[in-house]
Amino acid sequence: MNTPHSDGANARDEMVRVLTRIAEPVLNALSEGELKAGMPVEVGETDRDRSIYTHLEALGRLTAGIAPWLELGADATGEGKLRERFIDLANRAIANAVDPASPDYLNFKQGIQPLMDTSFLCLGLLRAPNQLWGKLNAKTRADLITALKLTRAAKPHQNNWLLSIAVVEAALWKFTGECRMAPINRAVNSFLGWYNGDGTYGDGPFFHWDYYNSFAIQPMLFEVVRICAEKKHPLGRHYPLVLERARRYAAIQERLISPEATFPIMGRSGCYRFGAFQTLSLMALEHQLPAELAPASVRAALTAVIRRMMEAPDTFDANGWLRVGIVGSQPKQAEPYISTGSLYLCCAGLLHLGLRPDDPFWFEPDQPWTQKRIWSGQDVPRDRAMDDGEPKGMKTLAKKAVRRLLFRK
């Protein structure tokens, strides 16, 4: 068996420490029924009260990010034993969150915001079906299904929120065999119609210069059409195309990382920090990085960005909770909808920890990422826009992608 290079092993150890440092306060508190009592509700420069939403935000967003790592399960290694502990914490946390008798029973119904954060929780369940859904007892499963269905009362905005309701329905479909297909049809067909070219979708009819293609759009659309393909629904035929567009968007994301491991902060929700790279991390997790990206260079780039953000002074408060900001504490960067719980979407940039420690992603020594190579004077092959006609080899790609999906272990 190949052994990960020390660069890869060190990066993995560092990222596991980041994950556990972020996750521990949330899961410790919620697993004991003490999240509402103990979690601060910091907001930016606004007088809005986000206390009725922030706790579900923390659970849903955190779960979406750490689920692939949890899905690896327990083993005899130090990391495997750590995972065992966090799997237990996560399952106890979910149980308290959906139990109406718990002091930490969360808000799945009041207002529209719970729809978004329930969809992130569903992403987590879909990414860890064995270690999360599979380990819940019958009562908690019933409570969870009831909680998911409460979000059906919300009326989604005509943008990425359509995918939120579709993800909830996809999770119900996956775990119960039943769902409402209309929201899934509407979301998939809307975003196929809002495609702008070169791997990028509009967030609604118009394009926005922000990271919502990575925060929500591409990962949620990918998961919904994947479930459709697994269920052999006609919408599943779009899976290869959605995948190819996500791969192109991942290539663009990698090119946004500067030689200094920074990236442009623009548009909404910069306080989600390195969650901006969810799509790049997802393509690494799925072994679907574009051919021009060496896994070791993606690993090095993501590690450098995350390190730079997490090591900034005042990123955490004295009790270990994330603080509002992008690089440290920066309340002026927060939109009115941002509060403490919102910040845990950063963990979506750690999906690649779901690759096993002996995966080739961790094998090679660090390699410079694209902008580091270009700005050091290397002669790097030029970038090419995606052919938004039928991509070359699409029929072959479609057959291979669906075969991998249907027969993966």
Dump pLDDT digits (tens) for 169-208.
999 999 999 999 999 999 999 999 999 999 999 999 888 9
Domains in the chain: ranges and CATH: 6-407 (1.50.10)
Contact status, residue 349 vs residue 302, Cβ threshold 8 Å = yes
- The DSSP line for 156-220 is --SSTHHHHHHHHHHHHHHHHS---HHHHHHHHHHHHHTEEETTEE-SSSS--SSSHIIIIIHHH
Among positive and negative, which fits the CA dihedral 221, 222, 227, 229? Answer: positive
Is the separation of the CB atoms in 126 and 70 below 8 Å? no
Phi-psi region of 273 (alpha: psi -120 to 50; beta: other; left: phi over 0): left
Give the C-alpha separation, 240 to 237, whole Å.
7
From the number of C-beta atoms within 10 Å of its C-beta (0-12, 13-18, 19+), residue 30 rates as: buried
- Please tell me the chain's helix, strand, coil percentages from 3-state DSSP, rounded to the nearest 5: 60, 0, 40
Which residue's structure tokens are 């718990």? 102
Residue 406 confidence (pLDDT) above 80 = no
Give CA torsion, residues 204, 184, 407, 282, to 10 deg.
30
pLDDT at 1: 53
* Closest by Cα among 308, 388, 306, 384 to 346: 306
Alpha-carbon distance values, 261 to 254, 264, 393 (Å):
11, 10, 34
Give the integer Cα–Cα distance in Å for 242 and 259: 29
Name every residue whose Cβ is closer than 8 Å to that of residue 95 and which is 6 or more positions away in sequence: 102, 136, 137, 140, 143
Q: How far apart are CA 129 and CA 200, in angstroms?
A: 29
**Phi–psi pair at 43, nearest 5 degrees:** -125, 175
Residue 156: band (very low, low, confident or very high) from pLDDT cuts 50, 70, 90: confident
Neighbours of 209 (CB within 10 A): 9
Q: How far is CA 132 from CA 92, 226, 409, in A?
A: 10, 19, 17
CA 24 – CA 127 distance, rounded (Å): 20
Q: Are 106 and 56 in contact (CB under 8 A)?
A: yes
- At what angle are helices 138-150 and 78-98 packed, to 10 degrees? 60
What's the whole-number average pLDDT of the chain? Answer: 94
Give the pLDDT confidence of 2-53 residue by residue, as tens digits: 677 899 999 999 999 999 999 999 999 999 999 999 999 999 888 788 999 9
Interval 339-369: pLDDT, tens: 999 999 999 999 999 999 999 999 999 999 9
Given the structure tokens 């702008």, which residue do they identify? 196
In the block, tokens 């968007």 appear at: 249
Tell me if the pTM is above 0.75.
Answer: yes
pLDDT-derived band of residue 405, with 50, 70 and 90 as boundaries?
low
Which tens digits make up the pLDDT trace of 62-109?
A: 999 999 999 999 999 999 999 999 999 999 999 999 999 999 999 999
